[in-house]
Amino acid sequence: MSVVLSAPAKLTLSLRLVGIRGDGHHLVDAEMVTIDLVDRLDVSDGDGLRVVPADGGLEVAAGGENLVARALRLVGRSAAVVVHKAIPAGAGLGGGSSDAAAILRWAGWTDVVGAAAIGADVSFCLVGGRARVTGIGEVVEPLGFTEMSFTLLTPPVGCPTADVYRRWDEMGGPTGGNGNDLEPAALDLVPDLARWRDELGDATGLCPRLAGSGSTWFVEGEYPGGGRRVVRTVAST
C-alpha cells in the first residue's frame, strides 16, 4: 500500500478572541480559507515519520508530538509517512494541522469536533474551503466559496502559537485593529515582524494583515516578486 496525500494550507482572514474556556483554551471567532500552497505526504506500509522541510523553512520535529503522529494515534493506525513540506513551519498557515487532517481523511475519520483533540486548526483543515470557525476551533460552519488571491510574505522566523497566545494574555487581551487580535501580541513577542510587515506594505501600497499567530503577512491581490508568494483559494478538501 502506497498513497500520496495532499495537505493544503489555511489562511486566517480574521481572528477575534472572544473568551477563555474553563480549561484555559481561548475561544475564537474567525474566518478561514484553504489556499493552493500544499504539503505532500507519502504514506506506505510500515512505521515511522520523516519530515522534509520546505526550501528555506524551519526544521520540523518528527517525534511523537508531531501532529501527524498524533493523528495516527487518534485513528489507531500505523504507517510510514514522509511529509514533503511546502508550507513553511511556524508561519501561521496551518501546515502541521493540514498534514494531520490529511491523515484523518486517509483513515476515513469524519468527526470534525473530535479532530480538535489533535490541534485547534485541524477541524477546519479537515473540512477546508471557506468557513466561520468558533469555539476553540472545533466548530466549523462552511461558507460559500469565493475565488480570491492573496500575496504572502513569510519572514525567516517562527511564531510559536502557544507563546503568542500567552503573550496576548500577559498584555491583558488587546484587540487587534487590523482584524486579528493576536497581531499586537505577535509583534510584542517578535518585534522584527514589523520590518517584514512594512516591506510588504511598501511593495503593495496596502496594509498587510498577520496570518493567525504569525509569522506570515498577507494582502489581498497578486503582487509577485521580492520573495513574495501569490496564492489562491481552493474549494473544500
CATH class, domain 2-142, is alpha beta
Residue closest to 182 by CA, chosen among 195, 198, 169: 169
- Percent helix, strand, coil in the chain (nearest 5)? 25, 35, 40
| Catalytic residue, candidates 42, 121, 163, 202 | 121
Classify 176 as helix, strand or coil. coil
pLDDT of residue 57: 58
Catalytic option among 10, 39, 85, 99:
10
User: What is the pLDDT, as a whole number, of residue 90?
Assistant: 86
What's this model's pTM, rounded to 2 decimal places?
0.94
Q: Which CATH architecture has domain 149-234?
A: 2-Layer Sandwich (3.30)
Q: Is 129 helix (H, G, I), strand (E, B) or coil?
A: coil
The distance from CA 203 to its chain's CA centroid, rounded to whole angstroms, is: 24
- The CA-atom distances, in angstroms, between 196 and each of 117, 145, 156, 187, 199 are 33, 30, 10, 11, 5
Predicted pLDDT of residue 225? 95
Decide: residue 76, CB within 10 A, 0-12 exposed, 13-18 middle, 19+ buried: exposed
Q: Where are the domains of the chain?
A: 2-142, 149-234
pLDDT for the residue 53? 83
Tell the residue number behind the cell numbers 493523528, with chain if given.
Answer: 71
For 45-185, where are the E strands, in sequence order? 48-52, 80-84, 130-134, 139-142, 149-153
Are 2-142 and 149-234 equal in CATH topology?
no
pLDDT, averaged in runs of 10, over the chain (237 residues):
94 96 94 98 94 70 80 96 93 95 97 96 97 98 96 92 95 92 97 97 98 96 96 89
Residue 36: active-site member:
no
**121 is annotated as an active-site residue:** yes
* pLDDT for res 69: 94
| pLDDT for position 61 | 62
Nearest to 176 by CA among 140, 139, 213, 229: 213
* Cα separation values, 71 from 9, 62, 78, 87, 113, Å: 17, 13, 10, 18, 14
